[in-house]
Amino acid sequence: MTETSALPVEELVSIQPLLEKLVIDPAIIRVGIGYPLNHSDRHIDDMIDKIISESRRRMEPASGYKIFNDLLAEPDYKTLHFGGLDFRTEKIITVQMKKAVAVAVFLCTIGPGMENWSRQLIDNGDYLKGYIVDAVASEAVEQAVEQTHNYLEAQMRELGLGITNRYSPGYCNWPVAEQHLLFSLLPPGYCGIRLTETALMIPIKSVSGIIGIGPDVKRRGYACNLCDDKQCIYRKIKT
Amino acid sequence: MDEIIVKLAICIERGKTNKTSPYPPDLREQDGADELAKQAIEAGIDANRILGACMQGMQSIGEKFAKNEAFVPELLMSAKAMNAVMVHLKPFFQSGSVQRKGKFIIGTVAGDLHDIGKKLVSMVVEGNGWEVIDLGVDVSTDKYLAAIAQHPNAIVGMSALLTTTMVNMEKSIQAIKAKYPATKVLVGGAPLTQDFANKIHADGYAPDPQAAVKLLNSYVA
Ligand code: B12
């Protein structure tokens, strides 16, 4: 197939997500800090708006991906093979990837600035502001991931290829401990992200994952119905 | 004199920390918990009554939280107002003329560095009249044990962000229960569930700070 032969295989593609495109919806932050949907309080809303505008200068988004074209879904749909390694991605994710012919392994972070700011505020007794900063940071990194996903989508479209949704270790029964395997496919400290022995990424506001690539795959809207996390804020917002 | 006490309880419930704090808007320019506590002490009001008023305010906001009329941000604002009072009450705690409900040792488990959830719980628990000993993040079993040795009647809380670190709770709980069978351990954090808490023999699980307060209070009731 000509399209897939043009893929930049095993090359690092580094991206700097644009700050001005990190559009943060205050409604998501409200839900993120525990309010029900449609709840509104002027004081809180003002605080959220101020923090969102001040947050831009505290973020240093970085992301990137590497494509592997040896993707194979085992017939039992429990294991995905790529980058010469076997991943226990389990059923939900493996099934979504079965039509893909290649996979992009991505990392994304907004850097440590926001979590440091949040910690400082809380340590100074400004609990609520610190809490809001944390929620804004979580949403900002999601937006940075979204930009990365969109970038890959545009690149692949030029080659006549589609992409799937994104999937992360720790979600949909893919053990979070497999972060170690995933990280072994990227250079150490890539995007400024370090992995602890217990598979925690530092800075905390970071996301890792995979995106399938192929002529017959499609990206769909956020698929909460696939996941089983009943408490997740995204489910509360999207459903 | 009673007016100060009544106002103080309201300031705690509404999260009015001091005169300059703009929140809540309808109490703008009025004295907050900080000023009222100071006035109460100067007026010679028994520190136990001052603390009692605060507890009443915290209980009211807690009840609203349980009924979905208040949310985590409101709990935090009340806790902040409460902590302003605590500063004035400190000498009374030190002299022993006023007692707290008990001690709560909290930490994020070994291998984990996520601390915001744990801090939010600490704030609210402290605001509800508990002395909180925060051991920080990446807390080893030995560190928990040493803290319990220092504060024998304390209740222990553990927080985790990922399933990889959540499993370290089990090891710490086993070691604590082996040495201090009577010590109660509460667990919490994003990946936790009541089922998991039962499985690792934790005494309790709480999904939010208010539920943690409720559990803690039930142990000393
Ligand atoms: C926002 C979010 C993110 C954000 C921010 C992360 C952060 N924590 O700062 C981003 C997008 C960066 C992210 C990334 C990841 N995430 Co995430 N994320 C969440 C989400 C939706 C909310 C977590 C949060 O920040 N809550 C707000 C804070 C304030 O709450 P909290 O810490 O939970 O604390 C509250 C309670 O738990 C409780 N509490 C806390 N401690 C204690 C202690 C005691 C004693 C008590 C009684 C109560 C208590 O009270 C607190 C206040 O209300 C959860 C799902 C969920 N609904 O919880 C998943 C979740 C935590 N993430 C998950 C995963 C897998 C990841 C990633 C590994 C994905 C990936 N591969 O990239 C990464 C890991 C990041 C890292 N650094 O390693 C999983 C973790 C489970 C697992 N499998 O290990 C979760 C649970 C989702 C799921 N159901 O699978 N995530």
Residue A231: what pLDDT? 60
DSSP class of B106? E
Question: Which ranges in chain A belong to alpha helices (H)?
Answer: 2-5, 26-32, 42-55, 90-97, 113-123, 127-158, 179-183, 233-238
Asked whether the CA dihedral A38, A41, A44, A48 is positive or negative, the reply is positive
* A239 has a pLDDT exceeding 50: no
Nearest to B115 by CA among B75, B165, B150: B165
pLDDT in tens, A179-219: 999 999 999 999 999 999 999 999 999 999 999 999 999 99
Under the banding of pLDDT at 50, 70 and 90, the label for residue A225 is low
For position B92, what pLDDT does the model report? 95
Instruction: Establish if A224 touches chain B: CB-CB under 8 angstroms.
Output: no
**CA separation for the pair B13, B80 (Å, rounded):** 11
**Yes or no, beta carbons of A131 and B24 under 8 Å apart:** no
Q: Residue B83 and residue B13: Cα distance in Å, rounded? A: 13
Residues paired with residue A166 on neighbouring β-strands, in sequence order: A211
- Residue A71 pLDDT grade (very low, low, confident, very high; cuts 50, 70, 90): very high
Side-by-side strand order, sheet with A62-68: A12-15, A62-68, A102-109, A206-214, A162-167
Whose CA is closest to A69, among A94, A100, A101, A99?
A: A101
Q: Which domains does chain B have, with CATH numbers?
A: 2-95 (1.10.1240.10), 103-220 (3.40.50.280)
Among B71, B76, B111, the residue with its CB nearest the CB of A196 is B111
Q: Which residues of B touch A34 (CB under 8 A)?
A: 71-73, 208
Residue B7 alpha carbon to ligand 1 centre in Å:
38
How would you classify the pairing of strands A194-195 and A85-87? unpaired
Cα B102 to chain centroid, rounded = 10
Atom 11, ligand 1: which residue's CA is nearest? A138
Residue to substitute from A30, A121, A127, interface B, most B β-carbons within 10 A: A127
CB B110 within 8 A of CB B39: no
Residue of A nearest to B192 (CA): A231
Question: In angstroms, how far apart are the furthest CA atoms of chain B?
Answer: 54
CA gap A31, A233 in Å, rounded:
7
Mean of the per-residue pLDDT values of chain B = 95
- Do residues A14 and A62 touch, judged by C-beta distance below 8 A? yes
- CATH class of the domain at A4-238: alpha beta
pLDDT digits (tens, 9 = 90+) for A129-174: 999 999 999 999 999 999 999 999 999 999 999 999 999 999 999 9
The mean pLDDT of B158-171, rounded to a whole number, is: 96
To the nearest whole angstrom, how far is the Cα of B8 from the nearest Cα of chain A? 19
Asked whether A160 and A216 are in contact (CB, 8 A), the reply is: no
Mean pLDDT of A69-85: 96
- Spell out the domain ranges in chain A: 4-238
> pTM surpassing 0.90?
yes
